[in-house]
């Protein structure tokens, strides 16, 4: 029996785990996901580490590092990088086999730097150097304030996972920042092959309009946004601007589907996997969704490059009173605020754990 995860991988889509904990590494479960579930990368964020640290699995590391007197932010990044180096090493054979296309792990820069381009660039450069792993992305939000930092980080040769994208326009802005950074590297005579992915969040669209839509439109908005974003992705890949860069040795920024766990209990568990399959894309999957999809998921037909019937669905949502541009901006702003809250919660937890362990 060929599991759905293997079939989706055969379609050309990379499956990345949306989680990391020390227990996943110590137990060998991450290696099992690689061997048996076709997982070829992973992402992390402050919320994931907040839950893992609250579980007590990092007490020894916190106690040891807190005793050295380092500040809480530096302590966190040391803990996170210990795990991410191990994960990156597990994915290293995939990274090598695919010529750097796949086999990545991701670490998020502090969201408190979001409005300071130069501080963000210094932080991502320092973190990537500290990690000492070629297959580690540093995550930078694709907000208006984050776009200059993305360009500068790419120009500096730091691989970037552009996060917090919600719409085709958000994606276009992110890929434009990426290509500007690559173009500057070409002009400077530097290697233009700097890895990057653009992470577009799905399920939050459907959650945002769930109580405003008639039944026939329920859980259709995110997929329509996904179709239009994939259309924009394919247009960028076919553009003269990109073809020129590719001929210089550049590597395309891959499209990544994020927030793909189904939030509506009445909807299929694999809603955002079944309908978002496409070659040269990535789907980051929460553990529960990964297990469900592996056991009884179904792979749909590949996404059409022309947007399919997305315009019809989006028109229906507009007719129902949804301002798609305003909602995209709200989702991104809310996401950025949630990142800051998660970060502050994480820092407070490290303070609390450090104090308790000292006591």
Residues annotated as catalytic (active site), given as ranges = 139
Q: Give all strands (DSSP E) within 101-236, no chain letters.
A: 105-108, 136-141, 160-165, 196-201
The helix (run of H) or strand (run of E) holding residue 65 is helix 59-66
- Give the tokens for residue 19: 């989680």
**How buried is 309 (Cβ within 10 angstroms: 0-12 exposed, 13-18 middle, 19+ buried)?**
exposed
Question: Nearest 5 degrees, angle CA 337-CA 195-CA 280?
Answer: 90
Q: Cα separation of 127 and 123, whole Å?
A: 6
Spatial neighbors of 78 by CB under 8 A, at least 6 apart, are 61, 65, 70
Quote the CA–CA distance of 276 and 291 in Å, as a whole number: 18
Give the burial class of 312: count Cβ atoms within 10 A of its Cβ; 0-12 exposed, 13-18 middle, 19 or more buried.
Answer: exposed
Q: What are phi and psi of 254, to 5 degrees?
A: -80, 150
| Pairing state between β 39-42 and 254-258 | unpaired
Classify strands 196-201 and 254-258 as parallel, antiparallel or unpaired: parallel
Stated as kind and residue range, the H or E segment containing 340 is helix 324-358
């Amino acid at each position: 029996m060929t599991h759905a995860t293997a079939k989706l991988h055969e379609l050309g889509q990379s499956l990345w785990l949306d989680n990391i904990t020390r227990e996943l590494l110590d137990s060998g479960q991450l290696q099992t996901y690689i061997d048996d579930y076709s997982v070829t990368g992973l992402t992390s964020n402050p919320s994931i580490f907040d839950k893992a640290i609250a579980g007590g699995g990092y007490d020894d590391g916190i106690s040891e590092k807190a005793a050295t007197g380092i500040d809480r932010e530096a302590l966190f990044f040391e803990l996170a990088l210990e795990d991410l180096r191990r994960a990156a090493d597990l994915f290293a054979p995939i990274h090598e086999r695919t010529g750097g296309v796949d086999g990545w792990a991701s670490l998020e820069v502090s969201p408190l730097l979001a409005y300071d381009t130069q501080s963000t660039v210094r932080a991502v450069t320092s973190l990537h150097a500290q990690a000492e792993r070629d297959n580690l992305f540093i995550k930078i939000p694709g907000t208006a304030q984050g776009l200059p930092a993305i360009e500068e980080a790419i120009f500096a040769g730091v691989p970037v996972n552009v996060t917090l994208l919600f719409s085709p326009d958000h994606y276009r802005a992110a890929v434009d920042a990426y290509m500007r950074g690559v173009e500057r590297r070409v002009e400077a005579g530097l290697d233009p092959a700097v890895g990057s992915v653009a992470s577009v969040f799905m399920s939050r669209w459907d959650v945002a309009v769930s109580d405003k839509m008639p039944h026939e439109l329920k859980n259709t908005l995110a997929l329509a946004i996904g179709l239009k974003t994939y259309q924009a992705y394919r247009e960028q890949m076919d553009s003269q601007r990109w073809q020129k860069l590719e001929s210089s040795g550049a590597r395309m920024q891959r499209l990544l589907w994020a927030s793909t766990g189904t939030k509506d209990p009445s909807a299929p568990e694999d809603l955002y996997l079944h309908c978002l399959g496409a070659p040269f894309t990535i789907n980051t999957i929460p553990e529960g969704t990964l297990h469900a999809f592996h056991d009884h998921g179904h792979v749909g037909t590949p996404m059409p490059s022309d947007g399919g019937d997305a315009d019809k669905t989006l028109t229906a949502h507009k007719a129902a009173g949804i301002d798609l541009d305003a909602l995209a901006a709200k989702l991104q702003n809310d996401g950025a605020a949630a990142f800051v809250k998660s970060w502050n919660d994480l820092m407070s937890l490290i303070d609390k754990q450090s104090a308790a362990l000292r006591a």
